[in-house]
């Protein structure tokens, strides 16, 4: 291992199916970037029983660390604090990186010093046929394809230029800010919880450091999803969690989230429901409506 690697790969995992985690780790062994130029840090986020290094297909030099309390944000913070490189790449335990992923990420970071956080395409690997009406909902599950053109912007809002957590590459100064950000552990999945938003916080912090965010289609990964995640009730729960997380994120950033009155809320939700149904159809529209319900329910709670 080089004294200072070019990339620190942080793999966060919680009670992973052994074959799935092995699949993710194998993709790191197959990278075209020389093994001496990146480090692999696996964070066991409260798995029960704890992961056993002897039973993991970890490559030489990879490290395994235990984070007692589960939670994706906690795991990412733990990995950030251990990372030594100037560029970090986050990998979930159900992701498989394309062989050129890390090499491309290093090249992008060197070529585009004004970009602080970036990601690319995330294609789905699913065990069942996905009904047509559910395909448009997969963006809420970490599946993404914005086309073959680079999209870069520094607009401080969600857009196609903003990376998802899976496969996100982020500069060390942005990651360090994230690790020390007050209340960061209020975001992100915890066990089977449906909260998210920690990846959006990383993007927001990139903007605060004067960077842009970017969608880079040369970065490709495959996201394996269990059948259960595609069930309608799970999709609805996930979208609801995204809405809740959006309010938590805004408040963590010190922004005001209006607390609507009952009459105003009824008008807003009825209007949004109509637009969802008209745009996405009955079933997909009702699932997307769960985002709005989560958002406004959280908005009506105390900050």
State both tokens at 171: 């500069």
User: Is residue 222 a contact partner of residue 96, using CB atoms and an 8 Å limit?
Assistant: yes
60: alpha, beta or left? (left if phi > 0; alpha if psi -120 to 50): beta
Residue with tokens 């199916």: 17
The pTM of the full predicted model, rounded to 2 decimals, is 0.93
Sorted by where each starts, the structural domains of the chain and their CATH numbers stand as 7-224 (3.90.550.10), 234-299 (no CATH)
- Classify residue 213 as exposed, middle or buried by CB count within 10 Å of its CB (0-12, 13-18, 19+): buried
* Low pLDDT (below 70) residues in the chain: 1-2, 190-195, 303
127 CA to centre of own chain: 22
pLDDT of residue 1: 45
Alpha-carbon distance of 120 to 150, in angstroms, equals 9
State both tokens at 256: 């005001």
pLDDT of residue 158: 84
User: Is residue 118 a contact partner of residue 213, using CB atoms and an 8 Å limit?
Assistant: yes
Q: What is the pLDDT of residues 222-253, one digit of tens each?
A: 999 888 889 999 999 999 999 999 999 999 99
pLDDT of residue 61: 83
State both tokens at 91: 């990998």
Alpha-carbon distance of 122 to 143, in angstroms, equals 5
Would you call 191 helix, strand, or coil by DSSP? Answer: coil
Hey, how many other C-beta atoms are within 10 angstroms of the C-beta on 132? 9
Closest CA relative to residue 233, chosen from 269, 194, 270, 272:
194
Residue with tokens 């890390």: 102
75 forms beta bridges with none
């Amino acid at each position: 291992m080089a004294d200072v690697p070019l990339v620190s790969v942080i793999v966060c995992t919680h009670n992973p199916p052994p074959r799935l985690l092995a699949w993710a780790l194998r993709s790191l062994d197959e990278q075209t970037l020389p093994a001496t130029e990146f480090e692999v840090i696996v964070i066991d986020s409260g798995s029960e029983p704890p992961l056993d290094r002897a039973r993991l297909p970890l490559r030489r030099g990879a490290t395994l660390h235990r984070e007692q309390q589960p939670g994706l944000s906690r795991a990412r913070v733990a990995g950030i604090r251990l990372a030594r490189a100037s560029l970090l790449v986050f990998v979930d335990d159900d992701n498989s990186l394309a062989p050129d992923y890390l090499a491309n990420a290093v090249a992008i970071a060197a070529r585009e010093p004004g970009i602080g956080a970036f990601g690319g395409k995330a294609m789905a690997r699913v065990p069942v046929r996905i009904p047509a009406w559910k395909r448009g909902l997969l963006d809420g599950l970490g599946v993404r394809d914005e086309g073959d053109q680079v999209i870069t912007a520094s607009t401080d809002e969600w857009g196609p230029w903003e990376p998802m957590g899976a496969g996100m590459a982020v500069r060390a100064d942005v990651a360090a800010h994230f690790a020390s950000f007050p209340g960061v552990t209020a975001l992100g999945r915890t066990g089977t919880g449906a909260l998210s938003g920690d990846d959006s916080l990383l993007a927001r912090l990139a903007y605060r450091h004067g960077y842009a965010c970017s969608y880079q289609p040369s970065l490709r990964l495959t996201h394996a999803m269990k059948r259960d995640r595609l069930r309608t009730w799970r999709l609805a729960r996930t979208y609801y969690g995204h809405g809740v997380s959006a309010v938590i994120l805004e408040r963590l950033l010190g922004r005001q989230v209006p607390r609507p009155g009952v009459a105003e809320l009824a008008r807003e939700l009825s209007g949004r429901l109509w637009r969802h149904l008209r745009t996405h159809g009955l079933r997909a529209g009702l699932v997307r409506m769960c985002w709005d319900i989560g958002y406004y329910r959280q908005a009506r709670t105390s900050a």
